[in-house]
Structure 1
């Protein structure tokens, strides 16, 4: 039993080291730079040896995305249940972890299945906090209402629509910021964020 415990700890440690190296690759070159062979070389093991810990590059990528969703959700869950504070927590996480944020909302690699059930569940957990503070909006037209009800059956389509609308504006603003678009326009991203969130808060409060 003791030897099994040692093996389990070693496996967990190795998986964590691989993920940390993969995150460094992502930060330096994006998803296309992710290479199990390069990680194996840095660890001083053979490429095939890493397949004991991850089935392949896509499996490693999925683990990184799940971790990122979990960390984003934790940041949102720690924020006060008010839109401005929630949005500030979202922005702080994205700006602090831009390579991980891009991993969540951009196609990581050609052919990668981003609709894995685990990824969908992880994304929904992150959205739950937004849903909680959104409140109901106007009733959507029937076709959209059915889609929203299927996505978030517990809240109803009016709340789900308001949450998706709020998230879309927040995501667009943050994405433009981390890509440097506002700086190139001579705009302070923080001031623009505050103004946009006040406007969004007014929209949701009405």
Structure 2
């Protein structure tokens, strides 16, 4: 039996209760776990996490007090991994374009077709799973590289850039033999066997790690 944290959860934030309930009913009728929030404040108060099972956030773009755009801004600033789908009313396309520029997955203009809504949810949840997997790979790579000393990391980086032992030694102003010893330690600690594997590991930990 699947645990709750292994199942995707769709959060719907809309201040119109009948519309919010209709979306929750639609989502649950096709098997999604869905949670409704009547305001951005209510969502922030609960502060749900995006679990390994994935999920997404469906936001009305205009709401009293904290708008959907403001909630998106706050979540981005906090590094939230939630993919966001915006719901817009007539004449709000300009706001929706702004939301897309700020990282929203899509926007749907009310009223929208059920199947279009469900297809967009599917796409956003898939994106959340991809983000979660990428974050996990990043974290694991970072943990592996943290096993290295400062000098070992310097050697690892130069080797990943394709430098031979002699070139790395010259750059670091140490002996060839010292580089050779560090290289062995690096390969043992990281479980890698080539400069290419080392490069992939460093780039998973930091996309700018070889700049």
Task: Give TM-score, length-normalised by structure 1.
Answer: 0.25
Higher-helix-fraction structure: 1
Max radius of gyration: which structure? 2
TM (norm. structure 2) is 0.25
Which structure dedicates a bigger proportion of its chain to strand?
A: 2
